[in-house]
């Protein structure tokens, strides 16, 4: 009962928040697809257009918006549309392209139909009480035909209506098609003559539009971008560049058209050209840093700060992989951004924008980004999104797209119900420095597939689809039991990597083992086996991407190895800082040296030095040191289990849909304050802790629990173990 | 063997024709979808935007074109693209946006990838031997990822490639996005003061842009369009209008932006405005009138001429329904245009453009145009297209879209395997003046469904899909036998209209009965029963649309009732001419009078007076009087069975994919000349006919056959029965 009530409250709250103001609305998912096309087709490599290699969908070009009204007084309503449109009041078309319509008192229906091929059909309607918002209905086929007598077909036409979507386009002028990220002027920190040109340093990794001040003369101007000085100076091999021909008889400022990632730029120009100085416009998505973390270790604080900056740089139109390249939306990368976002910005719109762009439209013709694992991360992202935000509307609106993506997977299972890479499927897993097979039944893929089926079962239940819920539950259970018979090796006491033609390989890779811990699929014996035979085994195969270190370290945190993980964070992320990182990298192998760190994909500067998946400490600190996580969707209930590890104190905030949760912890005191839900604080203490105005519940083994009510401040005194 | 050989020749011929010149190419079906969106969203009703009510799809916004080359000499190739693009030679990207590329001698692969959201991605490539044409391959997902070492994924990536499509965009400047129909200046024939304005008569139904010469002054200018003078003069009820505000201090010409249908325009303007005269730009698709028909009856000749003009007016970007409204692409209407086109223009591109626009893209979310019967006409159109043109490539490229549309149908069958109108399905059949049920199992829909399944079986066989061929054959056979058990009434000795909840209705409508004749589904007894109890029964329910008269008269022709049909054509189409028609109408009920003829859909001028389905005499004259029709696909073999009916002589040409078939017939002589295939001329004669250089084969019952070789002229003397 409580669960159901909660969902009702959240749904109501979303509606009422959105109903407060008029905003541009459009068909759900369409702006995300359109913006993704705009953005992902902006990538260039050395001046050459470099688009994605997967299917790009389009918005519906003809969309109808409708709203049932019940007015106590007549009302004049202003109408704005992006596209050619018509307006119907009570089923009757109003002549021409009306910009204002007077709606009489009483019950009425207002329909607006918009056509736009190049941009997303959208409307903005504003009256005293009538406002375009996501209580409006929208469809791409209204099926409103008329019979010979002119009578319209009845409204039970089988048409599927969704609630309209919106973002933050809250004024008539601020239209979706004009969307731009924010910009801010930034100065360079250093400029020096190098080779035949000038090397300019902006002090740290950044993103934006290079700007020349008082540029004058006629001639060529070449700009070579670098995340490192080596890259910027390598006119032959830097990954991005601009080659311009200037003809300014009078000096004027020039801002480069395309924003790019860089810390350094190297400029070569004809002598006939001159300019006063070079600056940039930093381009970013305005976001609040709601989450925070501080402790007594300056290195860890810096790691958190650089992680947050890395995360912000890669949180743009969407959560992208890296800002130099690919600047595309990748599901596996984005999945980690979702999780980090819940502990930093808690910007739900960035999560849904990204998920909707990745999902695209039917028909499904390949895996998400063509990668099998990335399809599964998409499902897992939905699971987490619901858990962190409690946004049931999203599930309701997009459940059909979940169904069709899962149907695509199920249509590609083999005779044992497992997924093998078929022609056109990229089985990615990780950029590993050891050899691993991607063929046959890869245990890692089945594990993620199983979790995806569980996600489907959960969401089917949320949309009251019992048939689906039973089907997916049964499929998930079957697959889960097969995981153990097919891949658990009694000899290795761990999951092996894959099975080809019925033959188990002998390779043990970390992936399946650590995800099985994350998903809670293992009993105590197997958990211990994985911990010691794989995760803490110095001879196990080594992960060299922050991408998979994310899950490895999370699994270790779940197993209580916060001390060990802290050491790893200091070594690994500290290692990058030691190499001069001002943002975290796509890949880091501590055994590499100097310019080796810059190379990847067979190119000397192929590696991205600002990659979202490098920012995982944000997530680990928030979830496993401050120790805050939701137990029921949207933080209706949650737990706080602070873990100092080897630190003297930690302090920070974790954002939630409705305010923040503040935690401070040292060896004697824990302070908590929460804006939301009902929390359960777990304290490990040598003696019974004390707290004014709170009941301390002993749970045995030096463990105590305190219920946290929202709006109250708690100070617990205790004795750390 | 012969059949197979034939197909090979045709395929080769299409390839070689297209390979002769460079042309703009694009993803198959995409230009058709884009152009359909452009065109169908141009409809207005009294100045208000009036778009379709079904889903409008979009082109793929990111498309890759590729071609394997083998050059004897190095070659410089020019590249043009509509959109942002890159060029890869042998897998390596060429820097920037190259407009010329030099390709060395030897084997090479050339890939061009184009992004365009607003218009269709398209390329035009021209070298000495390298030319963009439909031998190029194209895909919307190339799946060309690279691994960590920079190695590209292998090419067996499961990517589906199609042959690129083209139309007639044969020069770099003549791009697909700039497509416009042709125009030609035309003068008005009469201008007179009426009421408060001027009524201008252009002499006949036409379509185009009204033009004012030397328009001067400041004020309002209102133009009311009419297919009749009544409509133009009805400023309150005419269906289309333009209301303009003019501010010309100097006199200048003004051409109205939107082209419209009219014979009359009524102009009201402020006195402050003046102009010299009004003319128009006639807007049309340039097409050759390859088919012809003449006879000794001037009325029939006029009927043929007006039919051809009606057909030309409605053959535009696509085969549309009517030029005043809806100006949309309707599958049932278009199906008749396809058939008429085979006897007039034989413009295959208009057929495929229309079919591809109607089919759109997956997923299928409703019937074609939302109408169940219109889905079936789409399949039947494919069947006929292959029969008339022999274009197997079309079937190969679009078989997957046929499958998914049929899958949509099959997913909506009831427990007896029949299709009933479900929520959102429009069961149309006809605009009838009698009451008929559209619910339950409508026999007409099952009949068309059965024919559609037969089409699927045929096409499955053409693409060597034996599994599908067997499946659809079996489904078609099952359904066909059910037609007789479920709908044939021994009491009525005819098909009854429908069955609801297992109960047969008692109503006999003409539709199922006449289509069963057309499809050849009836044995001799049932054929006779239908002929006398329905088709020739004066008490049977009367058809009042040219739409269904098309099939009614065709069925009668198939039953040898050419005399009766000629009388009907004189009465019905002659009746419209008698009412002053200059093009044929959407509906004509001879019992109506005066302005009743103009009304429909509850609106005084709702009826379209130039409707494609009014033009059927073209088809009937060509197929059942000149008597020419293909027997094997693309006129490889064909028959000629001239039928004079009550006429003294007939003469005409029937177009085919490779030249024309000329036929002259009077009571003593038949002349035939053919550019194509092998014909079989059937002559009914009291005595054995004579012909120089031809063998006359007696077939009994005063019937003789003559084999017609291409390129030879035959003159047969005979004695008409």
Confidence of residue A159 (pLDDT cuts 50, 70, 90): confident
Q: How far apart are CA A167 and CA A231, in angstroms?
A: 38
Q: Find where tokens 């539950």 sit.
A: A473
Classify the C-alpha dihedral A651-A654-A658-A659 as positive or negative: positive
Q: How far apart are CA A402 and CA B292, in angstroms?
A: 56
Q: Which of A564, A591, A623 is the last residue of a domain?
A: A623
Classify the C-alpha dihedral B307-B309-B310-B312 as positive or negative: positive
Q: How far apart are CA B350 and CA A19, in angstroms?
A: 49
Q: Are residues B14 and B163 in the same domain?
A: yes
Task: Supply the DSSP symbol for B544.
Answer: -
A654, A618 contact by CB (below 8 A): no
Chain centroid to CA B136 = 27
Q: Are residues B25 and B154 in the same domain?
A: yes
A144 touches chain B (CB under 8 A): yes
Interface predicted TM-score (ipTM) of this complex, two decimals: 0.94
Q: Find where tokens 């097919």 sit.
A: A486
Residue B58 DSSP SS3: coil
Task: Supply the DSSP symbol for B242.
Answer: E
In a domain, B645, yes or no: yes
Nearest residue on chain B to A147, judged by CA atoms? B601
Terminal C-alpha separation, chain A: 39
Chain centroid to CA B67 = 32
Q: Are residues A606 and A632 in the same domain?
A: no
Q: Are residues B117 and B63 in the same domain?
A: yes
In this predicted structure, the answer to whether residue B617 has a pLDDT above a threshold of 60 is: yes
Average of pLDDT values for B252-274?
A: 97
Tokens representing residue A684 in the block? 């490990």
Kindly tell me the burial class for residue A183, based on how many C-beta atoms sit within 10 Å of its own C-beta (0-12, 13-18, 19 or more).
middle
Phi/psi zone of residue B659: left (φ > 0), alpha (ψ -120 to 50 degrees), beta? left
Q: How far apart are CA A25 and CA A167, in angstroms?
A: 8
Considering chain A, what percentage of its residues have pLDDT values greater than 70?
A: 97
Residue A222 DSSP SS3: strand
Average of pLDDT values for B365-375?
A: 97
Res B156: pLDDT: 57
Tokens representing residue B31 in the block? 């230009």
- Judged by CB atoms closer than 8 Å, whether chains meet at B62 and A46 is answered as no
Confidence of residue B82 (pLDDT cuts 50, 70, 90): very high
Q: Are residues A252 and A306 in the same domain?
A: no
Nearest residue on chain B to A362, judged by CA atoms? B363
Peptide bond into A326 cis (omega under 30): yes
In this predicted structure, the answer to whether residue A17 has a pLDDT above a threshold of 50 is: no
In a domain, A36, yes or no: no
Q: Are residues A11 and A145 in the same domain?
A: yes
Give whole-number Cα distances, B603 to B263, B274, B330, B546, in Å.
Answer: 19, 33, 21, 20
Q: For residue B28, which of B136, B116, B117 has the smallest C-alpha distance? A: B136
Average of pLDDT values for A426-434?
A: 93
Give whole-number Cα distances, A644 to A641, A670, B691, in Å.
Answer: 10, 11, 109
Average of pLDDT values for A18-38?
A: 91
Residues of chain A contacting B84 with CB distance shorter than 8 Å:
41, 49, 51
Query: Which member of B84, B146, B601 has the closest CB to residue A601?
Result: B146
Structure confidence by residue, pLDDT tens digits, A257-294:
999 999 999 999 999 999 999 999 999 999 999 999 99
DSSP string for B246-261: EEEEEEEEEE-SS-EE
Q: How many CB atoms lie within 10 A of CB A369?
A: 27
Packing angle of the helix pair B331-341, B546-558 (nearest 10 deg): 50
Confidence of residue A14 (pLDDT cuts 50, 70, 90): very low
Residues of chain B contacting A97 with CB distance shorter than 8 Å:
48-49
Structure confidence by residue, pLDDT tens digits, A302-349:
999 999 999 999 999 999 999 999 999 999 999 999 999 999 999 999
CATH number of the CATH domain containing B231 = 2.60.120.260
Res A152: pLDDT: 72
Structure confidence by residue, pLDDT tens digits, A516-545:
999 999 999 999 999 999 999 999 999 989
**Mutation site, B51, B421, B543, B602, interface A, largest A CB count within 10 A:** B51
Classify the C-alpha dihedral B360-B366-B369-B373 as positive or negative: positive
- Strand order in A122-126's β-sheet? A100-103, A75-82, A122-126
Element holding A352 (H helix, E strand): helix A348-359
The DSSP bridge pattern shows strands B84-89 and A713-717 to be: unpaired
- B residues 536-555 near A, CB within 8 Å? none
Q: For residue B553, which of B569, B540, B542, B541 has the smallest C-alpha distance? A: B569
Q: How many CB atoms lie within 10 A of CB A721?
A: 10
In this predicted structure, the answer to whether residue B345 has a pLDDT above a threshold of 50 is: yes
Residue B33 DSSP SS3: helix
In this predicted structure, the answer to whether residue A13 has a pLDDT above a threshold of 90 is: no
The CA-based diameter of chain B, rounded to the nearest angstrom, is 85
Q: How far apart are CA A346 and CA A356, in angstroms?
A: 17
Q: For residue A613, which of A374, A352, A257, A291 has the smallest C-alpha distance? A: A374
Kindly tell me the burial class for residue A331, based on how many C-beta atoms sit within 10 Å of its own C-beta (0-12, 13-18, 19 or more).
buried
Res A536: pLDDT: 95
Nearest residue on chain A to B114, judged by CA atoms? A51
In a domain, B667, yes or no: yes
In this predicted structure, the answer to whether residue B17 has a pLDDT above a threshold of 70 is: no
Q: How far apart are CA A627 and CA A663, in angstroms?
A: 9
Tokens representing residue B11 in the block? 């395929």
Q: For residue B13, which of B22, B1, B5 has the smallest C-alpha distance? A: B5
Tokens representing residue A426 in the block? 């990229």
Res A515: pLDDT: 98
Confidence of residue B154 (pLDDT cuts 50, 70, 90): low
**Mutation site, A51, A64, A360, interface B, largest B CB count within 10 A:** A51
Q: Are residues A217 and A96 in the same domain?
A: no
Q: Which of B172, B192, B221 is the last residue of a domain?
A: B172
- Judged by CB atoms closer than 8 Å, whether chains meet at A141 and B55 is answered as yes
Res B6: pLDDT: 38
Task: Supply the DSSP symbol for A457.
Answer: H
Res B158: pLDDT: 79
Q: Are residues A270 and A121 in the same domain?
A: no
The DSSP bridge pattern shows strands A678-684 and A637-640 to be: parallel
Confidence of residue A144 (pLDDT cuts 50, 70, 90): confident
CATH number of the CATH domain containing A355 = 1.50.10.10
A362, A406 contact by CB (below 8 A): no
In this predicted structure, the answer to whether residue A8 has a pLDDT above a threshold of 60 is: no
Chain centroid to CA A590 = 28
In this predicted structure, the answer to whether residue B155 has a pLDDT above a threshold of 70 is: no
Considering chain A, what percentage of its residues have pLDDT values greater than 90?
A: 94
Q: Are residues A632 and A610 in the same domain?
A: no
Task: Supply the DSSP symbol for B176.
Answer: G
The CA-based diameter of chain A, rounded to the nearest angstrom, is 85
Domain encompassing residue B164: 2-30+58-172
Give every CB contact of residue A153 below 8 A, 6+ residues apart in sequence.
A143, A144, A145, A146, A147, B426
Strand ranges inside A427-497, DSSP E: 441-442, 488-489, 494-495
Give whole-number Cα distances, B127 to A281, A491, B101, B105, B174, in Å.
Answer: 44, 65, 9, 13, 17
Query: Which member of B62, B363, B425 has the closest CB to residue A362?
Result: B363
Q: How far apart are CA A452 and CA B271, in angstroms?
A: 73
Kindly tell me the burial class for residue A102, based on how many C-beta atoms sit within 10 Å of its own C-beta (0-12, 13-18, 19 or more).
exposed
A151 touches chain B (CB under 8 A): yes
B443, B483 contact by CB (below 8 A): yes
Tokens representing residue B261 in the block? 């249908």
The count of domains in chain B is 3
Nearest residue on chain A to B607, judged by CA atoms? A148
Q: How far apart are CA A339 and CA A331, in angstroms?
A: 12
Chain centroid to CA A36 = 14
Confidence of residue B20 (pLDDT cuts 50, 70, 90): low
Give whole-number Cα distances, A497 to A427, A446, A450, A507, in Å.
Answer: 13, 11, 16, 6
Res A10: pLDDT: 38
Q: Are residues B671 and B692 in the same domain?
A: yes
Q: Find where tokens 């990204």 sit.
A: A354
Tokens representing residue B146 in the block? 């690279």
Average pLDDT, chain B: 95
Res A15: pLDDT: 39
- Judged by CB atoms closer than 8 Å, whether chains meet at A362 and B362 is answered as yes
Q: Which of B250, B284, B318 is the last residue of a domain?
A: B284
Q: Are residues A227 and A309 in the same domain?
A: no
Give whole-number Cα distances, B684 to A285, B295, B648, B687, B717, in Å.
Answer: 83, 19, 15, 9, 11
In a domain, B589, yes or no: no
- A residues 233-262 near B, CB within 8 Å? none
Average pLDDT, chain A: 95
In a domain, A52, yes or no: no
In this predicted structure, the answer to whether residue A448 has a pLDDT above a threshold of 90 is: yes
Rounded CA Rg of chain A:
28
Phi first, then psi, for residue A615 (nearest 5°) are -95, 15
Q: How far apart are CA A104 and CA B269, in angstroms?
A: 33
Phi first, then psi, for residue B171 (nearest 5°) are -135, 160
Structure confidence by residue, pLDDT tens digits, A35-82:
999 999 999 999 999 999 999 999 999 999 999 999 999 999 999 999
Confidence of residue A148 (pLDDT cuts 50, 70, 90): confident
In a domain, B119, yes or no: yes
Confidence of residue B153 (pLDDT cuts 50, 70, 90): low
Confidence of residue A7 (pLDDT cuts 50, 70, 90): very low
Res A3: pLDDT: 41
Q: Looking at the complex, report in whole angstroms how far the Cα of residue A168 sits from the nearest Cα belonging to chain B.
A: 23
In a domain, A520, yes or no: yes
B24, B169 contact by CB (below 8 A): yes
In this predicted structure, the answer to whether residue A20 has a pLDDT above a threshold of 70 is: no
Average of pLDDT values for B554-577?
A: 98
In a domain, A188, yes or no: yes
A126 touches chain B (CB under 8 A): no
Q: What share of chain B is helix, strand, coil (3-state, %, to 5)?
A: 30, 30, 40
Strand ranges inside B582-702, DSSP E: 628-630, 637-640, 649-656, 659-666, 669-674, 678-684, 690-691, 696-700
CATH number of the CATH domain containing B701 = 2.60.420.10
Average of pLDDT values for B671-695?
A: 96
Chain centroid to CA A699 = 37
Q: Looking at the complex, report in whole angstroms how far the Cα of residue A365 sits from the nearest Cα belonging to chain B.
A: 9
Q: How far apart are CA A509 and CA A503, in angstroms?
A: 17
Structure confidence by residue, pLDDT tens digits, A218-248:
999 999 999 999 999 999 999 999 999 999 9
Structure confidence by residue, pLDDT tens digits, A460-490:
999 999 999 999 999 999 999 999 999 999 9
Structure confidence by residue, pLDDT tens digits, B421-464:
998 899 999 999 899 999 999 999 999 999 999 999 999 999 99
Q: Are residues A474 and A595 in the same domain?
A: yes
Structure confidence by residue, pLDDT tens digits, B186-244:
999 999 999 999 999 999 999 999 999 999 999 999 999 999 999 999 999 999 999 99
Structure confidence by residue, pLDDT tens digits, A617-631:
999 999 999 999 999
């Amino acid at each position: 009962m409580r669960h159901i009530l909660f969902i009702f409250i959240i749904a109501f709250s979303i509606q009422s928040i959105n109903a407060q103001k008029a905003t541009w609305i459009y068909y759900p998912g369409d702006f995300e697809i359109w913006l993704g096309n705009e953005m992902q087709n902006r990538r260039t490599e050395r001046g050459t257009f470099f688009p994605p290699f997967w299917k790009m969908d389009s918005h519906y070009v003809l969309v109808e918006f409708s709203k049932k009204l019940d007015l106590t007084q007549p009302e004049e309503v202003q109408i704005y549309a992006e596209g050619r449109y018509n307006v119907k009041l009570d089923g009757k078309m109003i002549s021409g392209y009306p910009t204002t319509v007077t709606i009489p008192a009483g019950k009425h229906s207002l329909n607006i139909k918009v056509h736009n091929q190049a941009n997303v059909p959208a409307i903005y309607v504003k009256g005293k009480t009538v406002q375009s918002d996501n209580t409006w209905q929208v469809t791409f086929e209204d099926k409103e035909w008329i019979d010979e007598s002119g009578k319209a077909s009845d409204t039970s036409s089988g048409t599927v209506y969704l609630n309209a979507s919106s973002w933050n386009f809250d004024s008539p002028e601020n239209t979706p098609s004009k969307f731009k990220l924010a910009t801010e002027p930034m100065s360079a920190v250093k400029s020096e003559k190098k080779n035949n040109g000038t090397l300019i340093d902006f002090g740290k990794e950044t993103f934006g539009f290079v700007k020349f001040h008082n540029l004058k003369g006629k001639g060529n101007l070449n700009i070579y971008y670098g995340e490192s000085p080596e890259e910027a100076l390598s006119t032959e091999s830097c990954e991005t560049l601009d080659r311009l021909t200037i003809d300014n008889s009078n000096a004027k400022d020039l801002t480069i058209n395309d924003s790019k990632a860089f810390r350094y730029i190297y400029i070569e120009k004809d002598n006939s050209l001159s300019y006063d100085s070079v600056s940039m416009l930093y381009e970013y998505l305005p976001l609040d840093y709601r989450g925070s973390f501080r402790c007594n270790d300056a290195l860890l604080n810096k790691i958190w700060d650089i992680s947050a900056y890395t995360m912000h740089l890669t949180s743009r139109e969407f959560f992208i992989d890296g800002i130099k390249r690919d600047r595309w939306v990748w599901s596996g990368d984005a999945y980690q951004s979702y999780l980090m976002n819940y502990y930093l910005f808690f910007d739900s719109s960035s999560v849904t924008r990204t998920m909707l762009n990745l999902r695209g439209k039917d028909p499904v013709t390949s895996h998400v980004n063509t990668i099998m694992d990335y399809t599964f991360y998409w499902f897992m992202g939905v699971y987490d999104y619901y858990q962190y935000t409690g946004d049931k509307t999203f599930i309701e609106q997009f459940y059909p797209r979940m169904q069709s993506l899962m149907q695509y997977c199920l249509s590609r299972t083999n005779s044992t119900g497992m997924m093998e890479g078929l022609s056109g499927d990229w089985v990615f897993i990780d950029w590993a420095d050891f050899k691993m097979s991607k063929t046959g039944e890869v245990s890692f893929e089945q594990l993620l597939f199983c979790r995806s089926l569980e996600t489907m079962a959960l969401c089917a239940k949320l949309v009251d689809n019992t048939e689906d819920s039973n089907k997916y539950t049964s499929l998930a259970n079957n697959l889960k039991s097969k995981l153990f018979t097919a891949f658990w090796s009694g000899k290795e006491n761990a999951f092996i990597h894959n099975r080809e033609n019925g033959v188990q390989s002998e390779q043990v890779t970390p992936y399946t083992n650590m995800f099985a811990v994350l998903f809670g699929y293992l009993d105590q014996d197997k958990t211990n086996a994985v911990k010691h035979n794989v995760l803490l085994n110095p001879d196990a195969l080594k992960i060299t991407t922050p991408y998979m270190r994310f899950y490895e370290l999370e699994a270790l945190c779940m197993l209580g190895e916060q001390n060990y993980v802290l050491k790893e964070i200091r070594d690994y992320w500290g290692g990058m800082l030691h190499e001069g990182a001002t943002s975290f990298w796509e890949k880091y192998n501590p055994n590499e040296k100097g310019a080796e760190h810059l190379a990847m994909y067979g190119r000397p500067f192929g590696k991205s030095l600002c990659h979202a998946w490098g920012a995982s400490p944000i997530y680990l600190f928030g979830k496993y040191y401050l120790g805050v996580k939701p137990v029921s969707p949207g933080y209706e209930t949650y737990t706080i289990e602070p873990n100092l590890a080897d630190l003297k104190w930690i302090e920070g905030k974790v954002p939630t849909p409705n305010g923040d949760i503040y935690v401070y912890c040292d060896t004697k005191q824990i302070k908590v304050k929460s804006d939301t839900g009902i929390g359960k604080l777990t304290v490990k203490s040598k003696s019974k802790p004390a707290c004014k105005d709170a009941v301390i519940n002993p749970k045995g083994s030096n463990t105590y629990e305190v219920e946290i009510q929202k709006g109250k401040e708690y100070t617990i005194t205790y004795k750390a173990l």
